[in-house]
């Protein structure tokens, strides 16, 4: 088991610096344009694929880093470049995590490569869980999956919303209800292969931030998929459902449904994204405060500015520590006794909103304009307290864990 340390290895530092260079030289120069266009930045994703950042191999190397720090280090650097473009590059990873968390080895080997495509023909994937009436309340999910035993096929019907890459993805991972009586315990995850009839893109959302990332509804109308597309397989699902039915009356059983298993694995990574955005705003505000002069001296000489920067740096470092701890715990198999994963996502998300807002304040009127990037960073930061579990949900998870209550 790897010991927890703040000292990155030489290999980790090399990857960090390489990603930082890509973020600085490729992502940042394109950030303003794609934010305004509100379109998927395919040319940037293509460049990421050419250098090996957008690939299964790179993602796997970081995911299986024995220290657990590969993913958070990568996320922080890419999102330091720009949150919208970075999410377009890493958004496929959420679908990949869904397969890794719930799929068989054969399913992992079959579907994850198809999510990325290749250098000459890049693809993206989508993880579809939220619904118009079921966001934080996953137990209210209505999308149904019914098994057609005669044809060994699953038939999916419903509407998903807030899906990153929804509708434009080659592969969609869809969470659906297989047993409504079991609530969130009656959910399962399914692969919808490329070009499957019945899956269409619904509304594409025009968003406040992360505009370069495609977010849309996914409509499923009598979507038929092979039985082999049930992640984990039917035998495993039947066993799990049987256990849940037996214990349903007892209450208090802590059973992870398919969506929650994915979110739990990805929450520290989202925290790292937030740290990257916060750090980007802090870096810009610090340089601005050092060079902007008022009343004959740099504004950083004023305590009102200097103290804000001191607080910003402290909060960013604290957030990173929480993210790294949770990532290390998850990788080394240490149980989240106090919902450390949710803690990391909560604190980092709130830090990103606060720090980017402080950056605007330090820049004054300039910070309020699109001529300066902190305005965009502040808009982007708003998403971290919302997606993959709102801040309120993170607090609920933490509180219920501390109270010894079941997480549903």
The shares of helix, strand and coil residues in the chain, as percent rounded to the nearest 5, are: 60, 15, 25
Q: Are the C-beta atoms of 199 and 218 separated by less than 8 Å?
A: yes
Burial class (CB in 10 A: 0-12, 13-18, 19+), 312: buried
Q: Give the tens place of pLDDT for each residue, 240-278.
A: 998 888 876 655 444 445 555 556 667 899 999 999 999
Q: What is the pLDDT of residues 280-289, one digit of tens each?
A: 999 999 999 9
Strand-pair category, 171-177 with 125-128: parallel
Q: Catalytic amino acids?
A: 388
For Cα atoms 227, 266, 113, give the angle at the middle one, nearest 5 degrees.
50
160, 189 Cβ separation under 8 angstroms: no
Q: What is the pLDDT of residues 188-243, one digit of tens each?
A: 999 999 999 999 999 999 999 999 999 999 999 999 999 999 999 999 999 999 88
The verdict on pTM exceeding 0.85 is yes
CB 165 within 8 A of CB 124: yes
CB 179 within 8 A of CB 186: yes
5-28 average pLDDT score: 95
Whether the CA torsion 222, 228, 229, 232 is positive or negative: it is positive
Q: With residue 199 as reference, give the H or E element that holds it.
A: strand 199-204
Q: Are 34 and 44 in contact (CB under 8 A)?
A: yes
Q: What confidence score (pLDDT) does residue 266 get?
A: 75
- Which residues, in sequence order, are CB contacts of 14 under 8 Å at separation 6+? none
Rounded CA-CA distance 11/14 in Å is 5
The DSSP secondary structure of 101-158, one letter per residue, reads HH--HHHHHHHHHHHHEETTEE--EEEE--BTTBSS-GGG---EEEEETTTTEEEEEE
Q: Assign 182 a pLDDT band (cuts: 50, 70, 90).
A: confident
């Amino acid at each position: 088991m790897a010991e927890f340390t703040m000292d990155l290895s030489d290999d980790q530092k090399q990857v960090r610096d390489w990603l930082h260079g890509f973020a600085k030289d490729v992502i940042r120069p394109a950030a303003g344009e794609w934010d305004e266009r509100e379109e998927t930045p395919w040319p940037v994703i293509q460049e990421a694929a050419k250098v090996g950042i957008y690939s299964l191999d790179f993602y796997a190397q970081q995911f299986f880093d024995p220290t657990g720090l590969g993913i958070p280090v990568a996320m922080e650097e890419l999102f330091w470049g720009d949150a919208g473009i970075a999410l377009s590059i890493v958004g496929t990873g959420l679908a990949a995590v869904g397969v890794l968390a719930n799929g068989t080895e054969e399913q992992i080997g079959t579907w994850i490569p198809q999510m990325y495509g290749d250098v000459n023909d890049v693809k993206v994937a989508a993880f579809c869980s939220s619904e118009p009436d079921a966001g934080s309340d996953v137990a209210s999910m209505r999308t149904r999956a019914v098994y057609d035993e005669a044809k060994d096929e699953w038939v999916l019907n419903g509407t998903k919303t807030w899906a990153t890459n929804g509708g434009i993805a080659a592969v969609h991972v869809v969470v659906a209800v297989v047993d409504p009586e079991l609530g969130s315990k009656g959910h399962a995850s399914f692969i919808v292969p490329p070009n499957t009839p019945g899956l269409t893109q619904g509304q594409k959302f025009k968003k406040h931030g992360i505009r370069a990332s495609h977010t849309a509804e996914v409509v499923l109308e009598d979507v038929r998929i092979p039985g082999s597309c049930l992640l984990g397989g039917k035998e495993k699902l039947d066993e799990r459902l049987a256990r849940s039915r037996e214990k349903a009356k007892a209450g208090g059983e802590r059973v992870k449904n398919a969506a929650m298993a994915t979110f739990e694995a990805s929450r520290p990574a989202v925290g790292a994204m937030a740290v990257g955005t916060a750090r980007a705003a802090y870096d810009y505000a610090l340089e601005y405060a050092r060079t902007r002069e008022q009343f004959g001296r740099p504004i950083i000489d004023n305590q009102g500015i200097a103290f804000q920067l001191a607080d910003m740096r402290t909060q960013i470092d604290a957030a990173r520590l929480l993210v790294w701890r949770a990532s290390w715990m998850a990788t080394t198999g240490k149980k989240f006794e106090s919902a450390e994963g949710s803690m990391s996502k909560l604190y980092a998300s709130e830090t990103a909103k606060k720090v980017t807002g402080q950056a605007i304040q330090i820049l004054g009127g300039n910070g309020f304009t699109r001529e300066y990037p902190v305005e965009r960073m502040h808009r982007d930061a708003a998403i971290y307290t919302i997606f993959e579990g709102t801040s309120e949900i993170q607090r609920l998870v933490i509180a219920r864990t501390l109270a010894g209550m079941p997480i549903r």
